Structure 1
Amino acid sequence: MTFPAVAPAKHVRPAQPPIGLLLDVDGPIASPVTRSVPPEILEALLQLASHGWPVVFNTGRSDTFIREQIMQPLMEAGIPEHVRFHAVCEKGAVWFSFGSAGPGTLHVDHELSVPQDYASEVRVLVQQNYSSHMFFDETKRAMVSVEQVIEVSNQEYRRVQQDFDAEALALMGRFNLGASRLDRHVPNSDDRVDYRLDPTIISTDIESVQLGKDLGAERALELLAADGVVPHAWRTLGDSRTDYAMADWLHHHGHAVVHVDVRPEDGVPLKPYPVLTAAHMGLPRAIHEVAGAAFLRAWAAIAGTLEPSHIA
């Protein structure tokens, strides 16, 4: 599927901008409660991009969510003609770019899709047994995702989520699909595990094991390379342990990176690169989009003056 092409960006930014941003969406950018993006974050993103900092969203969300919750508000606020944002969706299975003219070509790696007959059965399972607590995300193109309805408490959703996950994992066996959920692995008849159930605080993603924030990071660099852009260093934002994979990938491939964890309640793992939390901003209780906004505002305040030589 394609959308109208974005006009080629006029590269007023340097070939090696000081910082590139690789951003998880749920948590650091969009509120897990309202599922929307605060205006102050949109403003900071526009300021950063306008100063030449590449901004790439690296998310499990669908392209529809990005277009409705991020692209459209940014366009309404006024994306400068020379600015291009990039979005890697569904953990690397879907990607596109957008600018002042709207979205460009949508790319989907169908080889990483969950089989449609299984997806259809999950849709029926949700409708029959779980619709009071969750909904089937019809906007996903490769993954299968269910998400908490806003009207129920997160505590109640997470209790029911465990029952759904158990049924969805058992359903994999009916289609001879090997799958895992956290530490539990259920191989198929060929002793393979090709899919995983990834529970988050507001959803469960059912996906190919090849998907992940590391693949998203790889896609991000490919998108920027097509624009002739190679950031001097990176800042990654996430709210879960799986989000560290994007910083891991960047570090492993020789890129300087600092990761920001906006929900460090699981503990901050020992990494070979710096990890920051809201406590470093003097906001020890701030999490999710509040913490994300604090970092984005701070970076926006220096974006116009920061040079690559100033970065450690």
Structure 2
Amino acid sequence: MSGVAPWIAAQAQRLLAQRGHALLLQGPSGLGQYTLALALARAWLCEQPSPAGACGACESCHAIEVRTHADLAVLMPETAMMALGWPLSEKAQAEIDDKKRKPSREIRIEAMRDAIEFAQRTSGRGRGKVVLVYPAERMNAFTANALLKTLEEPPGDARFVLASEAAHQLLPTIRSRCMAHTMAWPGEPDAVRWLQEQGVAATDVAPLLRAAGGRPEDALAYSRAGIDARRWAALPQAMARGDVGAIAGWTPAQAVDGLLKLCHDLMAAGCGAAPRFFEAKDLPPAPSQAALGGWSRELAATFRTVEHPFNAGLLFEALVSRARSALHSGLNR
């Protein structure tokens, strides 16, 4: 399975040997749920598959590569589809182009109804049909309930692969209708090698992998956002100074995630434990546990709404101001 990380290829090979019409790939972000889901869809629809997966050379594989396969339906929030290069429906694209609405951050009920109708049609290439849902936790209650009946009584040649980074948010009735697969964590040598193959500088690989908690795709996302080892190491002291420029170019989600990790490591340091995401030498003096606890709760609340269309500049200023306040509150001397 060329071009796919070795730990993803190994999981795909195991899953292809199993039966079942609905599969749920679950685990934290950065482990490759979407990549694995797409690899499975390629193999299921491939005209010349092998036990290792899709051939990568047939018309079916090419059609998936150019996002035009007639037997593959991709269900994602419109923001994710646009980011990953999947075309929207003509109606949805027209509404967005005409400024009637913004791209949805949830999987819309209209898209789910279209996918259910798609699953009931005859396969165009004779290899069955596949519905890929990612991130599955972005289905709201109405969208998830619309899928239940089809998951329980699927058309004969349709398969469903749901990929989630927060499977606990799915309806229990959705989870119970799927064969669950928990994503494997790659070994550090594989992750390091893969990140270097993706163009991450050798000096940045280990620090970014640490910053991402060992999740290689999250480490790659940091690198592509312009976050290198130097910027990551400088973050704690920059927050203590109130330097908003330290998070310039980050997404709001990356900024809040970085501050949550800083808060975690300061809590650990305050209890005499080793930090997980930063080097101990890069951390400022640990504030009181009470101050860190309050800051952590505020950051967690912010993270739940971080994708709302806030003014990013104002949000960053508020985040950094609160960080500076927390880092200077009740310092343990």
**TMscore range, shorter length:** under 0.3
Q: Which of these two proteins has the greater Rg computed from alpha carbons? A: 2
TM-score, normalised to structure 1, is 0.27
Q: Where is the helix percentage greater, Structure 1 or Structure 2?
A: 2
Q: Where is the strand percentage greater, Structure 1 or Structure 2?
A: 1
